[in-house]
Amino acid sequence: MQRTAVIVADGGVDLPEGFAAQYEIRTIPLMLSFGSEELHSGVDISAEAFYKRLRVDPHHPTTSQPSVGDYVQLYQEAGKAGLPILSFHLSVGLSGSFRSAQLAREMLPHLEIIQVDTGTLSGAMGLQVLVAADMAVRGEPIPAILAEAKRIGEMTDILYTLETVEYLRRGGRIGRVAGTVAGLLGIRPVITVDKGTGTYVSTGRVRSFRAGMNMIVDQIAEQAGEGAEISAIVLHGDCMPEVERLLDRLKARLNVKWLHIVRANPALGVHVGPDTVGVAYYRGLLPISGAAMAEILP
């Protein structure tokens, strides 16, 4: 069947390697700044290189959302296919990129652009985008794609934890005093995105990184049901040994039917640092063509 839409996603999305090319998903990179040096995430610097630099660079990086002009350019390129454009975005509670995209759409009245606030970010956003892209390739009608993406969002959650609150403090996500106290006490949060507000909320606090990973698995098992089927994108910065420990515990508690391991995009990494682990998961087998268990990285 003929493709029914072009899929666009802003740079806050995390997708398994190769899927963007397979489904021809067009993404718009976020801008990273290390001091006066500006880099396009995923273009000028890979996620792997970003996290290694984050460990040693004296400049704490900042991010900036794509401009209206960036979205105009992206939509114009996507519009050459002569198909409607489905544009997926970070939660408006976390980023102003959706507003930039809306302004760009107003400047391109000749294009059919349908914009979606996913209400989340990273791998949880990626699960919605993957399903939408798969349906578009299979020729499904746009109303059905939008309805299914919404359902996937309702059945998807993201949880992550981190080794240190230092990057949250540096990025202004918590106050300097609060960050210092948390660091001295060894407090590490487990964080999710609230489905109502689309903003970060803490689901618990622990005294060690591994305790945070254990809490993530406990909360997934509680939310999905012990032994339930899930599909997951496991996210990390630069700490693969900790990912392997989380996977062992996750597979012991749940029936993981579909799995990919992804380095979290720098838009998230700026705030959580290289030693962070998270899980974006869907309750059930992700409904995409040929969905199968991926090999777990060594």
Q: Which tens digit of pLDDT belongs to each residue from 67-92?
A: 999 999 999 999 999 999 999 999 99
Residue 244, pLDDT score: 96
Domain 156-283 class? alpha beta
Q: Mean pLDDT for the chain?
A: 90
Point out the least confidently predicted range of 40-44, 100-104, 259-263.
40-44
Domain spans of the chain, in order of start:
6-30+65-154, 156-283
Average pLDDT over residues 255-280: 93
Point out the least confidently predicted range of 27-36, 174-183, 287-296.
174-183
Contacts of 124 (CB under 8 A, 6+ apart): 118, 153, 156, 157, 158, 193, 280
Q: pTM to 2 decimals?
A: 0.93
Q: Is the pLDDT of residue 176 over 50?
A: no
96-134 pLDDT, tens per residue? 889 999 999 999 999 999 999 999 999 999 999 999 999
The neighbour count for residue 101, using CB atoms within 10 Å, is 27
Quick one: DSSP state of residue 7? Answer: E
Helix 68-79 and helix 97-106: axis angle, to 10°? 60
Common-topology check for domains 6-30+65-154 and 156-283: no
Q: Is the pLDDT of residue 43 over 80?
A: yes
Dist. CA 29–CA 26, nearest whole Å? 10
CATH number for the domain running over 6-30+65-154:
3.40.50.10170
